[in-house]
Amino acid sequence: MAASAWSEKILQLLRRMNNFYSQGSRRSSCFRFEINGSQVGWIPPHVASLLQRHPQVFGPPRGGAVGLCPSLDSYQSRSEAVDAVLQDLRQEEAITCLQGWRDERYSVMPGFSHAPLMWMERAATSLFGVKRYGVHVNGYTVSGSGEVSMWLARRSRTKQTYPGLLDNMAAGGLAAGVGVRATLIKECEEEACVPAHLAAKARPASTVSYTYEDEEGVFPESQFVFDLELPVGFEPRVGDGEVQEFSLLPVQEVKELLATDDFKPNSALVVLDFLIRHSFIEPDAEPFYQDFLAGLHQTL
C-alpha cells in the first residue's frame, strides 16, 4: 500500500474511533450522567426516556443532566438500585447491548484518580457513556540483528465482539476493585499462557484514549498500554479460548495490517502508539504525525 493511502486509512480509523467529537454526533443531545454533582458519563436521549420509568432510582432530566435520586447515597445502594433497573431493561430485546450481559462489574467514577461511586455491569456501560478502562499488552521480540517482530492474537470466532479479528497479544477490561498490573498478569496468563514471572516484566508505556458512539451508545475508553519484550523462541499459547491462534510478524507487516479491516479497531490504535513510540513512524516521514498523536489521546 502506498504511504499516502496508508496514512489516509489510519486517519479514517482515528476519526471513527473519536466520532463522538465529530460534527453531527449525538454529543449535543446527550444528557450528562451525574452522581453527587460529578459527571461520570453521557446518556443518549432514548436511554434517558427509558430511565424515567424508574423514578425511585433516576431523577428527571434537569439542566442537561440525569442523576440518581439523593436517597441513593452510598456505593452499594447506588450499585444495587441501578443493577435492578438494568436487569429489568435486559428483558427488552431492543436494547441489544444488554443481550451480551457478562456478569462483569466496572467501576463508575469521574476519573481514574477518583474513588468509585458505584459499579455497573460491563454490558450496560455504553448506555450511560461510562468511561471504561482496560489493559493492552504489546508482546514483541528483538532478534540478534535488532529486527523487531510482534506477536498478534487472532480472536476466537465465538467472541461476542470483533470475532476473528487481529488483536494485541493480551488485553482485558479493568474490573471493579482489580488493579492495572494484576489485570495485565491475569490476562497474559489466561489468554496467552505467559507465565506470571515473565508477564511481570512488562513495562508501562502509555495510555490510549478515545470516544466513539454507535447504535449501542457511547464508548469513552482509556487503555493502559504495556510493552513486553519476550525472549526469542518464546511462543504464547492459546489459553482460555478467547484467542484461536498467535502469529509472530515483522513490525513492518504489522504496520501494513493496521490499515486493513482485519484488525480490532482499538487494538490497532494501541499498535499505532507502539510504532510511534519506537520510532517506526517519524515526523519527517509521516505528514500526519501530529494528527495521529492527537487522535490517540482524546479525552472528554
- Domain ranges, ordered by start, for the chain: 3-21+132-296, 26-128
Q: How many CB atoms lie within 10 A of CB 30?
A: 22
Residue 245: strand pairing partners: 154
How is residue 113 written as a grid cell?
484518580
Sign of CA dihedral 101, 42, 71, 114: positive
Q: Check: CB of residue 171 under 8 Å from CB of residue 132.
A: no
User: What does the alpha-carbon distance between residue 68 and residue 81 come to, in Å, rounded to a whole number?
Assistant: 10
Task: Please tell me the CATH code under which domain 3-21+132-296 is placed.
Answer: 3.90.79.10
pLDDT at 300 (0 to 100): 63
Q: Which parts of the chain have pLDDT scores under 70?
A: 300
pLDDT at position 260, please?
95
Secondary structure element (H or E) that encloses residue 11, with its range:
helix 3-17
Q: How far lies 102's CA from each of 8, 106, 190, 201, in Å? A: 36, 11, 17, 30
Number of other CB atoms surrounding residue 143 within 10 Å = 10
CA 127, CA 219: separation in Å to the nearest integer?
Answer: 9
Residue 83: its pLDDT value, please? 97
Give the architecture (CATH level 2) of 26-128.
2-Layer Sandwich (3.30)
Q: Using CA of residue 183, residue 14, residue 269, residue 293, what is the dihedral sign?
A: negative
What lies within 8 Å, CB to CB, of 105 at 6+ separation is: 79, 119, 120, 121, 122, 175, 176, 177
- pLDDT number for residue 100: 87
pLDDT digits (tens, 9 = 90+) for 28-64: 999 999 999 999 999 999 999 999 999 999 999 999 9
Model pLDDT, residue 188: 97
Residue with cell 477518583: 114
What's the pLDDT score for residue 28? 92
Looking at residue 240, its pLDDT comes to 81
Structure confidence at residue 144 (pLDDT): 94
pLDDT at 113: 94
pLDDT at 82: 98
